Structure formats: structure tokens, C-alpha cells
Structure 1
């Protein structure tokens, strides 16, 4: 797919169904109402359509693509606003990265969001995003009262990494991005991919311990 097609507004793209074009147009309207005071419509649509294309190659259910694209574009625009100094909420932002963004990084983000509440922001991403969050990881987190079933594997982008105050990597090796001025930390954890629930529980518990320690170091109050 050429760049000019990928970045084109929904009504100009010929690679989408009518329903998909309408859904993306609606998504662009939502995002413009949220970010229009910071970015032009052209920038918002470019982020939305490039986000759509990020998922289109491996999505299992095409009907959900516009929704996923809107959610990811929203995260990317928030990150860009922080990088460009257009957003100043002062909340620490942590990015959790692993290979497939389907297990370790999703559990870490789940714990961080649950424990920090509105006092900090957590994002996650993968070097080779999978098609769904590991069901054993979802079940293990549900056991401790945290629902990550609504999450989805996604890549990282430059603005997301640049907006993070701390980047926690978990096994993505040389594929993990490095930008000057970020706090980087590698967590050596067993990969839950292909493991059953019994095997995932100790990985989950170690992640919780590490997240609690990270929150303490960042001086973020724990709400749970």
C-alpha cells in the first residue's frame, strides 16, 4: 500500500468498504473533537489511517479495525501532544514493551493502571504484535481482579516512546527502541506464550512485585 493511499482521508480511500470508510470518518470526527484544538484535521486523519494500517495486516476481525485504529490513534496523539509540549498534565508515563504485546507487557500495564489509578499513565507495545492477548494471561489477571480482556496487541511508534518517562523492556532485545533521555529498565521474565495458567501465575506475581517497586521509585501513590 502506498503512502498516499494509507494517509488519505476515508472518503478518498479505495481500499476500504463503505462501512469501513464511514466508521473511519466517524472516528476522525471523535478525534477532532478531542484534539482539534492542538492538531489540524490532516494530522489527525494521518494518524488514524496509519494506525488502521498497522492492524489491517494481522487483524482477525475486520469489523473491529476502525475501533482499534481510533483507540491507537488517540494514544498516539496524546503522546505527540506531550512530546510537542501541548499537554502538561505532569503525570509520569511508563511504556511496557515485549515481543508480542500479548502477555508480559499487558499484565504489567494492567497492574500499573490498577495500582496507580489516575496518578500515572501506562502504555504497552510489541516488536512483533500478536493477534490477541494471551488467554492464560487474561485468566491469571482476572484471578486478582484485573480485567485485561479488552486490551489488544499493538506496536510502538516513535512519538509513544519519546513521550514515555520510563521504558520497561521484557525480552524484545535489539528490537527495543532507544531514545536519549529516557529511563530504560530490562525485566528478565519468563515468556508466558504457550504456557498454561499454572505456569503463568508465578510470572504474574513477579510482574506485580516489579510494578509495585517501580511505582515506589516513581513516587506514585498506590491506590490498591
Structure 2
């Protein structure tokens, strides 16, 4: 069986999609290929999101926001969007999920922690579906 691949997409690739990718890498190890991207990537990851993830032992400091590419989307089995609307590409035959999550940009750490924890629950459920565990 080939390794499933997941692409997390948000507008700036600086908060939600980076946290989701961090959680999936943490929970799945190398059993799932993980990508994240943004329709309009920021210059850097949201430092409050980095701090919130550091609290749970996940280091996002080396991650860099990247622009969403058609190749990444085409190569992914599951595409999870988080607020990028029409900027997210649609490929026939791909599984799509749209996660309605608060944008952590400009939010205090308390709000970002809630977003982080909600993302963890969703990522764990997705992982269980993908791996059958």
C-alpha cells in the first residue's frame, strides 16, 4: 500500500495549515506524507502559533510559508482547506475537507491554544481514517 498524502491549505500558510501539518507529522511519524501551503503565503510563520505548538512539544521554527502549487495539490490524496475559499484548487477524484477554524493571526495565545487543540482532534480523526487505526 502506498503512503497516503495530505495537503493542508490556508491563506497565509502561517498558522492553521502549519499547525495541522505539525500535528500530523507528530502523530503519524513517517506513515503519512505531509504538505502545507498557502494561497497568499506570509513572510514567516505566526510566532504565537509557533509558541502554542512549542507548548505541546512540536517545533515549527524551521517551517517556512510556501505558495500553493498545482503539483502539490495533484500529488495529494486528501486536501484540507482552512479558509482559502476560491483560491484552493479543485482536482476531480481528490478527497476534500474544509475545516472551519478561527484564524490565529493577531489572536492572543489563549485563542491560538484553542485552535491548536481543535486542529489536533481533527488531525487525529483524519489519521485514524487514513490508517484504519
TM-score band by shorter chain is over 0.9
Shift of 1:220: 5.8
- For 1:133 and 1:184, locate their aligned partners in 2 and report how far apart those are by CA, in whole Å: 24
Answer 1 or 2: which has greater helix percent.
1
Shift of 1:158: 1.1
Aligned to 1:141: 53
User: SS at the partner of 2:58?
Assistant: coil
Q: Deviation per CA, 1:70-96, whole angstroms, max 9, x where unpaired? A: xxxxxxxxxxxxxxxxxxx81100000
Aligned to 1:174: 86
Aligned to 2:43: 131
Q: Which runs of 5+ in 1 are unaligned?
A: 1-88
Aligned to 1:185: 97
Aligned to 1:111: 23
Bigger radius of gyration among the two: 1
Q: Deviation per CA, 1:59-80, whole angstroms, max 9, x where unpaired? A: xxxxxxxxxxxxxxxxxxxxxx
- For 1:164 and 1:136, locate their aligned partners in 2 and report how far apart those are by CA, in whole Å: 28
Runs of 4+ in 1 over 3 A off after TM superposition: none
Does residue 208 in structure 1 map to residue 120 in structure 2?
yes
Aligned match of 2:111 in 199, 211, 214? 199
Does the 8 Å contact 1:94/1:165 carry over to 2? Answer: yes
Q: Deviation per CA, 1:173-219, whole angstroms, max 9, x where unpaired? A: 01111011110000000000011211100000000000000001112
The aligned length equals: 133
Does the 8 Å contact 1:168/1:187 carry over to 2? Answer: yes
- For 2:19 and 2:104, locate their aligned partners in 1 and report how far apart those are by CA, in whole Å: 10
TM-score by length of 2: 0.97
User: SS at the partner of 1:96?
Assistant: strand
TM-score by length of 1: 0.58
- For 1:105 and 1:151, locate their aligned partners in 2 and report how far apart those are by CA, in whole Å: 11
Aligned match of 2:72 in 142, 155, 160? 160
